[in-house]
Amino acid sequence: MTFGGEKRRLLGVLALLAPTPLPFNDIVEWPALGLYWLALGYFLYRTRRRPDEWLPTWVINLVGLAYMPFFAFDLLVLGRSKLVVPVVHLLLFAVVAKLYSLRTERDKWHVLMAVFFLFLAAMATSVHPTIVVYLLLFLVLTLLLLTRFALLHTLTGFGRDDPSMAVVPLGGFLMVSTILILLVSVPLFAVLPRVHAPYIVGRGAGTGTPIEAAGFTDQVTLDSIGLSRTNRSVVMRLHYDGGKSSGSEMRFKVGTHNFYQSGVWRRSSQRGEVLYRDGVRFDLAPDLVLARPQHWVDIWLRPLAGSRLALPVEAIALESLVPAVLLTPSGTVSLPQQTAGVVQYRAGLGEAPVIFSAAPQPDPAQEPALDRGGLTPRIEALAAQVASQADAAGNSRLTSAAIQRFLATDFEYTLDFLGRAAERPLEDFLFRFKSGHCEYFASAMVLMLRSEGIPARLVTGFLGGEYNPIEDYYIVRELNAHAWVEAYLDGGWRIFDPTPPSGRPAGPRDGLGNLLTQAWDYLEFRWDRYVLTYGLYDQMQFFLGLRDGWQKVLALFSHIGKEMPKQEESGPPAPADGASGQAPQEALPWARLWPPGVAALALILAAVFWRRRRGGADGISAYRALRRQLKRAGLSVEPSLPPLAVARMVSRRYPAAAGAAGEVVALYLRESFGGAGLGERQRQTLRQASAQAARVLRRRSERSS
């Protein structure tokens, strides 16, 4: 294969890799990518069999003209006026066409630029942590391509055209270059200006990560939550200050729904009250006498379907960086607008559940919690029968407890609805099948309470969570989605959950599989928090941390030789959490990363020093080490001195090292210019010869000094 064929092969391999993430992001369809890979596979086959054949220019121009109508159809019809997908299709076509028509050296750089744009499209539309693997592979292949191009171009100037003669060990160079690029790119990522949205927005969210991972829309069907019971996607993560109270229930309220019709619940259209923060705190219960939070929990909520926050039912205070929130009449809290990123906030918890909702309206006809939509005579009769059997007629508390007990004990939980009709789902649940999932239990209790004149509404949210010991936080997943009931009793709203205990969200699975899942959840959380949602506020914290660290270093040196201040002169103690009036801050990982970073740097330096002392395991490193040792021994070794002249110099000046130095030079010439790599036996010989030469020259250097 000629040098031109070698360059075509490298370009083809890089072009094969570049669009790989795009199908996972719904930017390119798998059939289209399959055709692209098939065309490149045949190109690589032609490169090996007939490396100097290419298509004429007129054929490429004709194919390009034929593609233009398809591009217009793709843009206006298939892409539905979305620019990203048709442009990426055009890039794939351009790469294939250009590869089949390579003629000059400039054409190869054109292909490389087109491949780079494919790489940018893949990176800009991907949000999954596995994209890092793709980034590293593409980086290594690009470095390999550029170094090979430079080497082949240099050898061409000497009149050579056989790639087998251009065998140069590049493993160490690629490894060091990749590490250096990463070391430079991480600080640049931390300090470069942030943008609000990605440069390229596709139809998907990248390798399987959903955009809407939490929350409920304004309408909830009787199947909405049941479909989530097999979904292990993480909804939110929580960290309790001081740890979570043992035995306490984790119940998070997201939405309330008052109006039921034909299997669909809708929420009330009442606007609610806008709350403005006092410092960074929103007081959700200003009228409560004991409104001081007893505990605090940090919450990281995945992108919302809607704008409502998931709050513990014990929450009485909220800390967030948004200027205002909306407290609805039914006690839910919403952001001013929907967000596409991870939402971070803190909730102050009381000792018991608190429902921030006004009392029902005096007129039952105007009270949403007494809406009679969905009620039938059979449901009303059943509710009256349950209340009378419990001797609860006229007592709302006893009636509510009786209906909850009736549903939780006489009915079964199931996710199997095969063969069921959808005309009257709640009547079928109560009188025919007597089984369902949490929406059916909660919906039936709401209607039965309303038939007895008790205001009630459906509540959607999450119940339970699992503890992740890797970083001491709790994970709430989609499968923790749940529905329950709020009823107005004795002058206040109360929580009821009629779903049988066997049907409520279960605890975490045990075993190695769950531990690995939690480890992956930890990685995804860090990726979301410090890569995808890393923003201006995080940059400010980063620079403030650098400033504080530098001030501590200066203070450390300024106190040398001075008397340390006494403890009582250091000022008053810092205020407790939540009382400082400052923004809630999450400790960024930079302070925790510097010890392992210093350790890793020390290991790298030690490895380099050790490699230089042992002479290396390849011919180039061993030969360079030999030249350095000769300089330390007092010989003037000019850069232009050829290897054989170096060996003769050693034999004249240091006969004891002549044999070892000759072995090093011979193996270096074999590896670098002989077109043959070193086997394990040759590498062992090289290590021994390098060590022997180093010992002789070191003794000579010590005697001369």
How confident is the model over 321-352, as pLDDT tens digits?
788 888 888 888 888 877 666 788 999 988 88
Residue 531 is predicted with a pLDDT of 78
- Quick check: 199 and 87 in contact, CB under 8 A? no
Helical (H) or strand (E) element with 443: helix 438-451
Residue 581 is predicted with a pLDDT of 40
Residue 379 is predicted with a pLDDT of 93
Of the candidate ranges 19-33, 442-456, 632-646, the one whose mean pLDDT is the lowest: 632-646
Q: CA 620, 625, 630, 631: dihedral to nearest 10 degrees?
A: 110
- Quick check: 690 and 657 in contact, CB under 8 A? no
Residue 14 is predicted with a pLDDT of 93
Give the separation between CA 662 and CA 682, rounded to whole angstroms: 14
Per-residue confidence band for 290, with pLDDT thresholds at 50, 70 and 90: low
Across 259-276, average pLDDT: 82
Task: Out of 71-85, 196-210, 238-252, 490-504, give the one with best mean pLDDT.
Answer: 490-504
Mean pLDDT (the chain, rounded)? 79
pLDDT of 205 above 70: no
pLDDT of 536 above 60: yes
Of the candidate ranges 88-97, 188-197, 403-412, 608-617, the one whose mean pLDDT is the lowest: 608-617
Which has the higher per-residue pLDDT, 48 or 398?
398
- The one-character DSSP state at 286 is T
Block residue for tokens 């970083």:
471
Residue 466 is predicted with a pLDDT of 86
Strand order of the β-sheet with 333-334 is: 273-276, 324-327, 333-334
Residue 626 is predicted with a pLDDT of 86
Across 594-614, average pLDDT: 63
Residue 194 is predicted with a pLDDT of 66
Tens of pLDDT, residues 627-651 = 888 888 877 778 778 888 888 888 8
Residue 643 is predicted with a pLDDT of 86
Alpha carbons within 13 angstroms on the beta-carbon side of residue 239 total 14
Per-residue confidence band for 211, with pLDDT thresholds at 50, 70 and 90: very low
Across 399-420, average pLDDT: 87
Query: Percent of the chain at pLDDT above 70?
Result: 79
Across 169-175, average pLDDT: 73
Give the separation between CA 211 and CA 225, rounded to whole angstroms: 18
What's the pTM?
0.60
Helix axes 84-99, 3-17, angle to 10 degrees: 160
Alpha carbons within 13 angstroms on the beta-carbon side of residue 260 total 29
Residue 346 is predicted with a pLDDT of 92
